[in-house]
Amino acid sequence: MIKIDVRRKAFGEEEVLRDIRFEMDVGETVAILGPSGIGKSTLLRLIAGIDPAFDGEITRPEKIAMVFQEPVLLPWRSVVENLTLVHPDLGTQAALSALERTGIVDKAGLFPGQLSLGQQRRLALARAFAGRPELLVMDEPYVSLDPTTAEEMLALTEALIAETGPAVILVTHSEAEAHRLARRRLRLAGKPATMVKEFAAGSASASWEGHHDRA
C-alpha cells in the first residue's frame, strides 16, 4: 500500500504543492498530469523519497525504481554493467536477458554515450524493471522521441508492467500516454498546485470519488 499525503511543499517563499492526497495498491497504475512548471517532478521526488523536505507523510514500499526524463546512467561502465552494478544480485546472464527484452542486447558492450536517446531510455527501462520494483516512478519518460520510437517504448513499458506488476506512477503532460498506461489519472492545477481527481475510462468500479470524462 502506498499512501501519499503532501500537506505543503515550498521552495523558499514559493509554495509549489498543497494538500495532495491519494493511495495506491501494488499493481495499480496512476498518471499525474498537468502543465509544465506546475510541480509534477517536485511531487515525484517527494514520493520517491529523494527530497525529504516537505510537510506531510508518505508511506512507500522499499523497492522503488525511478525513470527520469534524462536517463541517469553510469557513463564509464558498459551497458550491461549499468545493470549488474546497480543490481548486484543480477547475474550477467539475467542482465543480458533484460537487455534482450528491451531490444538492446547487441549494445551490451558499448558505453551509454554511444547509444541514441531511445536506446538510453531502453537501458533505463531495463534497469528499472530488473530490480523487480514494488513501485515504479516515471517522469515524462517518452518526451522528445519520434512517434514510432515513443510508441515502441510505450508498448514495451506496458508489457513490462504486466509481467512485473509494480505500482506505477507516471508523470506526463500527454493525455494519450496517461490513457494508455494508467488506470487512474490525477491532475495538478493551480498555484500552489493541488489535485483534481479523475477517472480513467473503464474504471467505474473504482472506490474513490471522481467523474467519468470518457466513459
Query: What residue 207 binds from ligand ADP, Mg ion, none (CB within 5 to 8 A, per partner kind)?
Result: none
Q: What amino acid occupies position 157?
A: T
List contacts with ligand ADP (CB under 6 A).
11, 16, 34, 36-42
Integer Cα distance of 48 and 60 in angstroms: 8
Q: Which residue's C-alpha cell is 509534477? A: 40
> Is residue 174 close enough to count as binding Mg ion by CB under 5 A?
no
For residues 18, 24, 29, 30, the Cα torsion angle rounded to the nearest 10 degrees is -10
Q: Which of residues 22-41 bind Mg ion (CB under 5 A)?
A: 41
**With respect to ligand ADP, which residue has the nearer C-beta, 12 or 113?**
12
Position with the least CB separation from Mg ion: 41
- CA distances to 57, 62, 87, 106, 170 from 102, in Å: 35, 25, 17, 11, 19
Query: What residue 124 binds from ligand ADP, Mg ion, none (CB within 5 to 8 A, per partner kind)?
Result: none
**With respect to ligand ADP, which residue has the nearer C-beta, 120 or 172?**
172
- Binding footprint of Mg ion on the chain (CB under 5 A): 41
